[in-house]
Structure 1
Amino acid sequence: MRALAASGMALALSACAVGPDYQRPAMDLGQAYKQSSSALQAAVVDAGVNPGWIPAASSAPLRGDWWLLFDDPMLSGLMRDLNSANLNIAQAEAQYRQAQAQLQGARAGFFPTVGASSSASRSGTGSAGSSSGSSSVSNQYSLSGTVSWEPDLWGRISRTVEAGEAGLQAGGADLAATRLSMQSTLAQTYFDLRVTDAERRLLQQTVQAYTQSLALTRNRYDAGIAAQADIETSTAQLENARAQALALDRQRAQLENAIAVLLGRTPAEFSLPETTVAARVPVVPVELPSELLLRRPDVIAAERRTAQANARIGVAQAAWFPNLALTAQGGFRSGQWAQWLTAPASFWSLGPALALTIFDGGAREAQLREARAAYDAQAANYRQTALTALREVEDYLVQLSVLGHEQVVQGRALAAARESLRLTQNQYQAGLIDYLSVVQVETTALNAERSALALVAGRLAASVQLIAALGGGWNPEAGTAGPVPVQEPGAETPPL
C-alpha cells in the first residue's frame, strides 16, 4: 500500500514541469513593404508595364507548385524530376527521419522499462588439503522479470519531448527550405540556359550578317570602291562574333551540366534540347510582411529551434531535483530443476528509489547557463533570419520594378538601334559613308540586342528569387495555398 501511495504521488507530481514556458520572440516587421507604395512602383504601373508582383489581397496567394506561373512544360518536367532525384533533398529527408527517430526515443521515457533474465550455474567447494577430500557441488536456476519506471516529477522527460517536437518541426522546415532552394536554383539555371540559347541564335544571325557584309565589302574592293582596311575591319568583326558564339557554347554546356547535377544525374547522360520559349514575367502575389514568419521555411526553422532551446532550459533545471525510480522484480530461483517453477522457489521485490546529486563541482549550473545562452543565441538568430527575409523581399520587389521600367526604356533604345542600323547599311551600299561607320552602328545594335536579353534574364531571375524569398507558397499546415493567380496584362518579355 505504501508503494502504491508513492506511485500515486509520483503521478500527481509528474504534471509539474520546471523551466520557462515558450513564447515566440516578438518581431515587428511593419504593416507593409516599403516598395509596395513607392513612387517607382506607381511609375511602372502607369507606364503599362507588368510590375512582376501585386498585393496578395487582390489575388490568390502563392501555391507550392509555383513554377506553373511561368507556363513552361519543360520546366515543370524538370521540377518533377528534381523533387524525386535531387540528392540535397534526399539528404534533408534523411535528416528529417533522423529527427523523427530522436523524438520517438525521447517519448519512450514516459513508459516503463520491462526486462527479463534467465540463468543457470553450477558451483562447487572443496578442501584440497583435507584428509577426507570432501567437496560439495550445487546447481542454481533462476528466472526473473523486472519493471522499472521513472515518473516525470519535474518535467525533464516532458521538456525533452518538447525539445524533440520543436526539433522535428525545425527539421521539416529545413526540408522545405532545401527543396525550395533547389527548385529556385533549377529555375534560375534553366532560364539562364534559355537566355543563353537566345543569345546563341542572335550571334548565329549576326555571324551570317557579318559574313554577307564581308562578301559585300570584298566585292566593293574588287570594284575599286572600297579599301583594304574595310576588308580587314569586316574580317575582324566577323571573327569577334564567332569567338563570342563559341564562348556561349561553353556557357551553355556548363549550365546544362549544372541542371544534370541538380537532377541527380551525370552530365554525360543528360541533355536539354534547344527550344524557343515565349518567356514572360508572371505576376507574383505578395502578402503582408508578417506572413514571412508563418510561410518562409528558414524563418520557421529558426523559430522552432528557439523553442527547442527554451525547452532545454527546463531539462537543465530538472537536473537540480531528485530522481524517483519505481522498480518491481519477481521470478523463481531454485537449486533443483524440478522445483524451479514451484511456489516455494518464487521471489519478488517492490520499492521506490530516490536519488539526488549533492555535489558536482558546478556542472549543473554550467549546463543551465549554457542552455540559457543557447536560447539567447537562437532568439537572436531567429530575429536576424526574419530581418534578412524582409530585406530580400524588399530587394526583389524593387529589382522587379526597376527592371520592368528599364525594359521599356531599353525597348525604345533597341528599336532606335535597329532603325539606325538599317539606315546606315543603306547609306553604305549607296557609297555615302565608309565601312567603319557601319561597324560602329552594328556594334551598338548588337549590344542593344544583348542588353535586351540580359533584362529578360534579370526579370525572370528576380521573379524566381522573389517567390523563394516569400517562401515559395509553402504552408506547414496544408502544404499549398490556393490556385495559381491569373496573369495581369502588361508588357511581356520577348520569346527566348
Structure 2
Amino acid sequence: MILRRSPAFASLLALLILGGCAVGPDYQRPDAPVAQAWKTEAGWQASNPRDDELKGAWWKIFDDAELNALQEQALKNGQTMVIAQARVDQARAQANVANSSFFPRIGAQAGTARNRTSADRPLSNYNTPNTSVIQNDFNAAFTVSYELDLFGRVRRQAEGAGATAQQAQADFENTRLVLTAELAADYLVLRQTDAEIDVLQQTLGAQTKALDFISARHELGAASGLDLNQQQGLTAATQTQLTLLRDQRARYQNAIATLVGVPAPDFKLPVNLAVTTVPAISLTAPAALLERRPDIATAERAMAAANAQIGVARSAYFPSLGLSGLYGSDANQLSNLFSAPALLWSIGVSATQTIFDGGRTKANVDFAKAGYQQALGNYRQSVLVAMQEVQDGLNSDVALAQAITSAKVAADSADRSLGLSTDRYQSGITTNLEVVVAQQTFLNYKRQEVQLHGQRLVNTVKLIKALGGGWHAHE
C-alpha cells in the first residue's frame, strides 16, 4: 500500500508538532528567606564539604552499637516505614497512570447476540412493509483511541503527578529522619534515666546506712527521735523518686519497642551505665538546608505539583482533539465473521470546545493559582522553621554545655559538704538536720548534672535532625 501525502495528513502532522507546547507557567523554584550565616559561639565551624559531614546513618556519630542495632531494626520492621513506603508506591503508580496518557489506547472487543426485530416498528420506506426477522450478530474488532495533547493538558498532568511522586519520596525520607531521631532521643533519655537511677540507688544506699546508724544511736539514747524521723523521711522520699524513675524508664523502653516493631511485653533493654560523649557536629551553610532537609524538599515538590495544576486548569480554555480507529468484522453467522464481506473499519477525529460554562473554567484556574500560592507560603515557612530549629539547637548546645560545667561544680561541692556534715554529726558537733539537708542538696545537684548531660545529647539529636540528618536532595 502506498501512502500519499495530503493536506489533511500535513495538518495532522502539524497538530502533533504543536503538541510540544503546554499552557500554564513553567515551574521555577522561587527564592526562599535564607540567612547568610549562623550565630555561633567559638568551636563551631562550617563544613564545605568535609569528610566528617553527616552521612545517611547519622546516628553512628554517637558510637553506640546498641543504638545502631535498634535503628536498623526500626528501619526494617517499624510499621511507620511500611506506611511511608506504601505512600511512595501509590504516588509512583499515579505517575505511571498519568504518563500512560502519552500513548494510544489499543483494545479488542468481541460479542454475539441473537435478536428479533418488530414487524410493527416505524416504516423506513412506505412502499415496503416491515417484517419480523430473527437473526444472529457476531462481531470482533480492534480499537484505537488517542488524545492529541495540543495544549499540554496531558503533559501538565504528568508533570504534576511526577512532582507528587517526588514529594512522596521526600516524605518517605522525612519520615525516616523523624523515626530515627525519635528513636535516638528516646534511647538517650532512657540511658540518662539509667544514670539517674544509679545516682538514686547509690544515694539510697548511703541514706539507708545513715538510717541504720541513727537508729542504733537512738536505741542507745544518743540520737533524738527528730533525727530518726528526719532520716526516715529522707530515705522514703528517695525511694519514691527511684520508683517513679523506674516507671519512667519502662515507658521509654515501651516506646522504643513500638518504634522497632516489637510488642512492648516482649522487649527489654538492659541497663547500660556507659557515659555517651556529646559528639562534634560540622555545620553546613544555611542555604544548604534547601538541599539537606527532606521536609523542605517535600514542600518544594508540592509547589511544583501545584504549579502544574495551573496549566491543567488553563487547558480547559482550549479545544481537545482525539483520534479514534476501529478495524474488525460483523456477520450474522460465525463462519462468515472473518470473511471479506464482513470487514468493517473506521477512522476519525473528534474535537470538543466549551463555549459557555458559567465561569467554571476561570474558577478552576483561580483555584489552582490559589493552591500554588498556598504551596509557596508553605515552602517559605518550612525554610523559616528550619532556620529557627537549627539556630535554637546551636543556642541550646552552648547554654547546656555551660550549665553542665556549673552543675558539675555544684555537685562536687555538695559532695564535699555532705562528707563534712556527716563527720560533724558523727562527732556530735551538729544535728542530723544538717546532714539531711546536705544529702538532699547533693542528690538534687547530681541528678541535675546527669539530666543536663542527657538533655545535651537529645539536643544534639534535634540539631542533627534540624540539619537534615544525613540526607541530601541529590541522593
Asked whether the two chains share a fold, i.e. TM above 0.5, the reply is yes
Structure 1 contact 309–375 (Cα < 8 Å) conserved: yes
Alignment of 1:185-224 (within 5 A): 185-224=182-221
Q: Match of 2:133, SS?
A: strand
Q: Secondary structure at the match of 1:284?
A: coil
- For residues 127 and 238 of structure 1, the distance between their equivalents in structure 2, rounded to whole angstroms, comes to 108
The counterpart of 1:62, out of the listed 54, 58, 64, is 54
Q: Which residue matches 1:277?
A: 274
The one-letter amino acid paired with 1:9 is: A
CA distance in 2, matches of 1:466, 1:375: 31
Distance between the aligned counterparts of 1:372 and 1:134, measured in 2?
Answer: 63
After alignment, is 297-306 or 20-29 more displaced?
Answer: 20-29
- Give the TM-score, by structure 2 length: 0.94
Asked whether the equivalents of residues 297 and 473 of structure 2 are also in contact (C-alpha less than 8 Å), the reply is no
Provide closer, same or farther for how the CA distance between residues 218 and 316 of structure 1 changes in structure 2, counting only shifts above 3 A.
same
Distance 1:146 1:207 in 2: 86
CA distance 1:192–1:12, shift in 2 (3 Å): same
The answer to whether the 8 A contact 1:3-1:350 is kept is: no
Q: 1:492: which partner in 2?
A: none
Shift of 1:29: 1.0
1:25-74 deviation line (CA, Å, top 9, x unaligned): 2113122112x2xxxx23xx5xxxxxxx5422466321010111001110
Structure-to-structure mapping, 1:23-172, within 5 angstroms: 23-34=28-39, 36=40, 41-42=41-42, 45=43, 54-57=45-48, 60-125=52-117, 135-172=132-169
CA distance in structure 2 between the partners assigned to 1:235 and 1:76 by the alignment? 44
Instruction: Give the match's secondary structure for 2:84.
Output: helix
- Name the residue aligned to 1:486: none
The answer to whether the 8 A contact 1:3-1:352 is kept is no
Match of 2:223 among 220, 226, 229: 226
Q: Which amino acid aligns with 1:401?
A: V
What code does the residue aligned with 1:25 have?
Answer: P
CA contact (8 A) 2:33 2:383 kept: no
Partner of 1:435: 432
SS at 2:56 equivalent: coil
Rounded to whole Å, the distance in 1 between the matches of 2:260 and 2:467 is 24
- Report which stretch shifted further, 9-18 or 223-232: 223-232
Q: Aligned partner of 2:46: which letter?
A: P
Equivalent residue, structure 2, for 1:488: none
AA aligned to 2:317 is W
Aligned to 2:13: 8
- Tell me the percent identity: 38
Within a 5 Å distance, the mapping from 1:63-462 to structure 2 comes to 63-125=55-117, 135-462=132-459
8 Å Cα contact 2:257-2:267 kept in structure 1? yes
Query: What CA deviation, in whole Å up to 9, does each residue of 1:425-455 have, x standing for no partner?
Result: 1111111111001111111110110000111
Q: Structure 1 residue 134: deviation in Å?
A: 7.7
Bigger relative contact order, structure 1 or 2 (CA pairs below 8 A, ≥6 apart): 1
Aligned residue type for 2:287 = S
User: What amino acid does structure 1 have at the position aligned with 2:47?
Assistant: A
Deviations 1:372-392 (A, max 9, x none): 000000000100010000000
User: CA offset at residue 115 of structure 1?
Assistant: 1.5
- Larger displacement relative to structure 2 (232-241 or 420-429): 420-429
- Greater shift in the superposed pair: 293-302 or 329-338: 329-338
Q: What's the CA shift string for 1:255-291, capped at 9, x where partnerless?
A: 1111111112211111111122221100111100001
User: What displacement does 1:253 show?
Assistant: 1.0
SS at the partner of 1:55?
Answer: coil
Provide the rounded CA distance (Å) in 1 between the counterparts of 2:108 and 2:252.
62
Inter-partner Cα distance in structure 2 for 1:415 and 1:271: 34
Give the AA of the match of 2:112: A
Q: What displacement does 1:336 show? A: 2.9
8 Å contact kept, 1:200–1:248: yes
Letter in 2 for 1:90: V
Question: Aligned partners of 1:203, 1:259: CA distance in 2, in Å?
Answer: 24
When normalised by structure 1's length, the TM-score is 0.90
What is the match of residue 125 of structure 2?
none
Q: Are the structure 2 counterparts of residues 225 and 356 from structure 1 closer, same or farther at C-alpha, using a change threshold of 3 Å? A: same
Q: For the Cα contact (< 8 Å) 1:54–1:283, is it kept in 2?
A: no
Q: Assess if the C-alpha contact under 8 Å between 2:328 and 2:344 holds in 1.
A: yes
In 2, are the aligned partners of 1:59 and 1:285 still within 8 Å (CA)? no
- Of 468-477 and 138-147, deviating more is 138-147
Distance 1:183 1:134 in 2: 81
Aligned CA-pair RMSD: 1.6
Corresponding position of 1:489: none
1:212-251: CA deviation from partner (whole Å, max 9, x where unpaired): 1011112222333321110111111111111111111111
Unaligned runs of 5+ in 2: 1-5, 121-129
The residue type paired with residue 10 of structure 2 is A
Aligned residue pairs, count: 460
Matched residue type, 1:333: D
Query: What is the rounded CA distance, in whole Å, between the counterparts of 1:282 and 1:60 in structure 2?
Result: 11
Q: Which runs of 5+ in 1 are unaligned?
A: 46-52, 479-496
